[in-house]
Structure 1
Amino acid sequence: MFDTTDELLRKIQLGEDSVLELKAIHFKGDKISGPKPDDLADELAAMANTNDGVCVLGVDDKKREIAGIPLAKLDAVESFIREVCNDVIKPPLAVRIIRMELPGALGAMQPVIKVEVPRSLFVHKSPGGYFRRLGSSKRELTPEQLARLFQQRSQARFISFDEQTVPHTSLADLEESLWRRFVALVPDDPIATLRKLKLLSPDETSVERATVAGILLCSRHPETWLPNAYIEAVRYRGNQQDSNYQADAARIVGPLDQQIAHGLAFVRRNMRVAAIKAPGRVEIPQFNERAVFEAIVNAVAHRDYSIHGSKIRLFMFDDRFELYSPGPLPNTVTIESLPLRQATRNELITSLLARSPVEPDDRQVGRQYLMEKRGDGVPIIMNESYALSKRYPEYRLIDDAELLLTIYSASQPNTPIVS
């Protein structure tokens, strides 16, 4: 928005409106004294709750003059913006921060910072409450407006979250080599094909946008648009979560099928495997690989992607494997009924994973495709793990917001570790 200098200058001369906010930056010593963090947070969140917008810092909103920002203090202002977006606005707001120069009143070029605020997938709360942009000012959302906005943007929407469009995406953001996996023949009309697959959908302004599922499965970097769509994996020495005893760690990103493969590979390379002679060589792995595979697939397929700030967490210890999946249990499923019921919150994602083949190196897990949608994933996790460790895995719901699965290690003899 306002991509050229001339366009932005003309807009500044016209003054603030629904899509433009101007802020002069004031300092007291080395510290920013204005705007206050809470005030800037209210303005940015209001824009994100309404539509696309731009905030230019370094411009006097009263005189509409380019006051600029001292060159030596640009880093401090950028850090200030990031802190406001990440720490003051809930959930954190993803913005684009651009340094640029604009001519001041005397013609000299002055540094300013342009903050591009996209219309968000989420409803954002700032210190003053929930706001929307109306003309050049912000207005607190009424209870009715807030309920309507949550319905439009949250998981409560009639369209499931994985079918919602992702702002500022397009057909170009879906890699052909990835979406072609779901198409038998080369389509004459890619847009029509992708719309049929629900990987592409028109937004409220009839512009074609990638859907959440499209980004998660057909983009090389889903975390660009959905910052928490990844797996955080850590192997600890011992039985306690302590960074001082961290043996290995990885931030597993990429399309969901790649996350599953790389998650399983992480467990493989960090899993102890012992060997005994009985009478021939018998290997005893720390965890059942088939159970781990099903657990990772379930976490990736069924987690709540609408919860901002939460990612899948995979932790390995000497005595157990833990997998944290964001979101409560879907529909009316309970901890007790998990092995017996089949339910999903991400119908489109699970349907696409059911058409995604298992990597050739992972075929020993007993699947041809990542999901088979028969509801046997949890029974496999329970039974295969018990057969190895003689202890059933445990599921636990934390604060009705995160599902924790614990798989216990097999008892291993005091023999040299193979790997």
Structure 2
Amino acid sequence: MLEEEFGKLLLRVQQRNCEEQTLEVKAANKGCPERLYDTFSAFANQNEGGMLLFGLDEKQGFAKVGVYDAQDLQKKLMEVGESMTPVVRPVLSVYVEGAMLFVAAEIPPLDLAERPCFKTARGRLKGSFIRVGDADKPMTEYEVYSYEAYRKRSRDDLRPVAGISSSALDPVQLEQYLLKRKLDRPNFASVPTEQLYELTGLQKEGQFTLTAVLLFGLYPQAYFPQLSIIASRVPGTEMGEVDETGQRFLDSKRIEGSLVEMLEGAVSFLRSNMRMAVRIDPKTGKRQDMPEYPLDALREAVLNALVHRDYSTHTENMPIQLIMF
């Protein structure tokens, strides 16, 4: 960092009198602060990275107090970076103002494939942090898992489901699907059914997958009760508002079944809960019904929610929320 930039940064912090999403302030006039690894981790785990600024005392209204020893502080910051996995290499800068020294440590963001960054001694689950405003918060198990799933390119929809037999699936729908796949790929015609299940993602490790259950299950919610849609229509523009009779919901429904059944059920709910204008063509005299929202767009939105939701074990107890205001 250039000296002019460093001076402006000190002035900006004092004027705003606060820390920020990408800025952490430490006094360090009486020694190196403890527990810097949480901020190292949080900054490395966000796209913008971040900066630790040493030499301002937050307790004194961000007054300039300088650091105890710029050389020793830089050495200890490098040691903190080396205690992380992956190793963090902070970019260090020193600024002199009168008799006081200030130190800045810029933490570069890690590539998504390398996150989460965590303190090695504490382990990935307890040593990973995320920045929330001006605070460093421990990552939840799900947040850690999300990075690991991205790195490993996990397909949670293809995970095997124990205890599911062919009797739980719709044999007609399943057979029609396999026939279509054989028509698309003639070389599938001679492939045994069990192998075809594996090749198409319906089975893994000899067990039916979550995909098979959701697409062809007779009643998927018997095994995954919350992989459903909770559809509601509320009277106002905010959740919790009531109408003149005190009702919070004008309509509410739990939509279950296979993915196809839930798609059709959700579209039917939307259609029945929206207004329909009537237009008469002046030339032909024919009646035209004009829905409040275009049905094609609604179908696409619901389909995206069903296909692209998180199907990991961490979120299988969270239904899709469909709310009409």
- Bigger Cα Rg: 2
The TM-score with structure 2 as length reference comes to 0.45
More helix by share: 2
